[in-house]
Amino acid sequence: CEGTESTLTKCQASPWGESSCSHGKYASVVCSGSAVSSFAPIRLVDGPGHCAGRVEVFHKEKWGTVCDDSWDFADAKVVCRQLDCGVVISAPRRAYFGEGQGPIWLDDVHCMGTEAALSECRAKTWGIHGCEHGEDASVVCSGSSEVLRLVNSPHRCAGRVEVFHNQQWGTICDDGWDLKDAAVVCRQLGCGTAVSAPGSSGFGQGSGPIWLDGVSCLGTEATLAECSFKPWGHHACNHVEDASVVCSGSGIASSPRLRLAGGLSKCAGRVEVFYNNEWGTICDDGWDPKDATVVCRQLGCGVALSAPGLARFGWGAGPIWLDDVSCTGEETDFFQCQAKTWGIHNCHHGEDAGVVCAGNSSSANLRLVNGPDRCAGRVEVLHDRQWGTICDDGWDLNDAAVVCQQLGCGRATAAPGRARFGQGTGHIWLDDVGCSGSEETLAQCRARPWGQSNCNHGEDASVICSG
């Protein structure tokens, strides 16, 4: 029938009495006017809302579960439609929302995806199965509350990853956690692409159960539930290892968990890391150029020139978060490097680690003025679009050597103070400059923060280069 005919006799059919059917194939009809429904009632339970959870069907006056043998998106699609819960998001197996009780009513369900109810789909006879409740099928529909969330961040698209299972939110262990796993989380939450996949509780330690460990996604899955992982709740982790994600939808260009402080440019300074909502330093025990290489690469600062310790860029404040850092130099994320547990150390801030990266070696922000030629004169630096001078406190030949090298003026022959080439005007930008002499630019040297000095222009520093 087309469905528009006024009587059954107007539909196409085999000639009267001709069929290849047995009596077990009698057709039936249930009309709305009969007040009888042929659809077995269904529900989703133990999820965060009525549109996500373990699938249960009502048969013979009892609620029971569905075995996950051959359970797929087409089956889940029918469940979502029957419950008026929108489109299917995922069809988790393995008792994703906990094990049910009572009978396992259905097994080997095979829906086309167009059926109006789950009980219309092909399946084994009611109650016939070879399953246990550890194989209970589940569904997540678009109309459900999220079963996945990112927390402890100002934006919903960055933070510690938490999953909802067995009526409780819990975390994911960072063992094997990488950008492929993060990509699936970002996709599932509608947060764009994955920017980073921080481990080591980068967005703070969670509480409650650690639900997942050994997560291994291909990166193409629509939901985290489709990835492989250890059984729910099986792990050898603690909350220090909670996994996190930063997605492009957060507006965070890169994970804001690493910075250089106390230097004159963004590419040289004391290394500081953000953990548990607080910036802290790194102890220099074992700190070497391999560690510095990873830091410089991650910050977009080129190659590492040196890895100074002993608080070369001043003593930090707050916690010393990391000690005994050991990078291979090949890591793409500094937090992939080995180190002691967060906050465990035997150091003080006099051992804060630093790095000097190549960064921008332009000489356009440095000049010598009031001298006989371009390679001798009062030192001036460009900062905040204004030229200013340098105080001569601690100014010596090591500092002058860096200036001469940066300007392509040979070696330093003198480092006069006391405004030898006249007093400047405007800002005194730098004070207590302390170069080792090996730096490529003045910005890589240690100094007080920009604009902080206890000097006047009678103390302006100068340089005389061999030229």
More confident residue, 25 or 72: 72
Are 339 and 322 a contacting pair, CB within 8 Å?
yes
Q: Which backbone phi and psi does 403 adopt, to 5 degrees? A: -60, -50
Percent share of the chain, pLDDT over 90: 27
- Which is more confidently placed, 333 or 428? 428
User: What digits encode the pLDDT tens for the residues 200-256?
Assistant: 777 878 888 998 998 999 888 777 877 888 888 888 888 888 998 888 776 654 444
| Tens of pLDDT, residues 295-324 | 888 887 778 888 888 888 889 888 998 999
How far is residue 212 CA from its own chain's centroid?
A: 16
The answer, yes or no, to whether residue 417 has pLDDT greater than 80, is yes
Distance CA 259, CA 112 (A): 54
- The pair of structure tokens assigned to 87 is 């489109």
Place 401 in a pLDDT band, splitting at 50, 70 and 90.
very high
**Count of beta carbons in the 10 Å neighbourhood of residue 386:** 11
Q: Is the pLDDT of residue 368 over 70?
A: yes
CA neighbours within 13 Å on the CB side: how many for 442?
33
In this structure, the strands spanning 158-165 and 148-151 are antiparallel
pLDDT at 36: 41
Contact 288, 250 (CB under 8 A): no
Would you put residue 163 in left (φ > 0), alpha (ψ -120 to 50) or beta?
beta
pLDDT of residue 254: 46
Question: Which residues does residue 275 pair with via DSSP β-bridges, in sequence order?
Answer: 278
Which pTM does this prediction carry?
0.38
What percentage of the chain exceeds 70 in pLDDT? Answer: 92
State the average pLDDT for the chain: 84
DSSP 208-257: S-EEE-S-B--S--SSGGGSB-PSTT--S--GGGB-EEEEGGGT-SS-S-
Domains of the chain: 42-141 (3.10.250.10), 148-250 (3.10.250.10), 258-357 (3.10.250.10), 366-465 (3.10.250.10)
Query: What's the pLDDT band for 78 if we cut at 50, 70, 90?
Result: very high
Q: What is the CA radius of gyration of the chain?
A: 34
Contact 432, 394 (CB under 8 A): yes
